């Protein structure tokens, strides 16, 4: 599995506390499928913002499945989790509402890709 995915989960686990997940309680398992067909599993357990991450299979309240390429785009801020679910590229089972909260661990789009009304179309 890609090093960037392992690094993402390791950094998340090192945080210990994530204020954006302050109201969440439960566990989310990420099943990330590699190019070789192997599935790498990560479990993110959250108790009111206290985050622990483990590598491997475990029971979870919500399971999110994606291929490695999509997951790398999620952790790079190039893809939105909800949009990926609506397209069928990201699969969610169990407590689907947990996706709405856990998606906060993914960065937003790079600021260079954002535009505001005043920046569109050049000079006025």
Q: Which residues contact 53 (CB under 8 A, 6 or more apart)?
A: 9, 10, 12, 13, 42, 43, 44, 45
pLDDT at 87 over 90: yes
Average of pLDDT values for 33-60? Answer: 94
How high is the pLDDT of residue 111? 66
The pLDDT assigned to 124 comes to: 43
Q: At what angle do helices 3-15 and 68-75 cross, to 10 degrees?
A: 50
The class that CATH gives domain 3-105 is: alpha beta
**What is the pLDDT averaged over residues 12-37?**
93
The pLDDT of residue 122: 46
pLDDT of 41: 97
Q: How high is the pLDDT of residue 116?
A: 44
pLDDT at position 2, please?
A: 61
**Mean pLDDT for all residues in the chain:** 88
pLDDT at 108: 81
> What is the domain partition of the chain in residue ranges?
3-105
Q: What is the pTM of this model?
A: 0.83
Tokens encoding 48: 């009111």
| pLDDT, position 69 | 95
């Amino acid at each position: 599995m890609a090093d960037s995915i392992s690094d993402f989960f390791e950094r998340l686990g090192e945080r210990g506390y994530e204020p954006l997940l302050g109201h969440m309680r439960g566990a989310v398992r990420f099943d990330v499928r590699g190019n070789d067909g192997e599935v790498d599993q990560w479990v993110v357990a959250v108790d009111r913002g206290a985050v622990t991450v483990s590598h491997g299979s475990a029971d979870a309240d919500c399971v999110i499945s994606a291929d490695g390429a999509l997951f790398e785009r999620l952790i790079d801020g190039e893809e939105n989790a909800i949009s990926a679910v609506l397209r069928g590229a990201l699969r969610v089972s169990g407590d689907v509402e947990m996706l709405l909260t856990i998606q906060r661990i993914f960065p937003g789009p790079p600021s260079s890709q954002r535009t505001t009304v005043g920046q569109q179309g050049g000079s006025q």
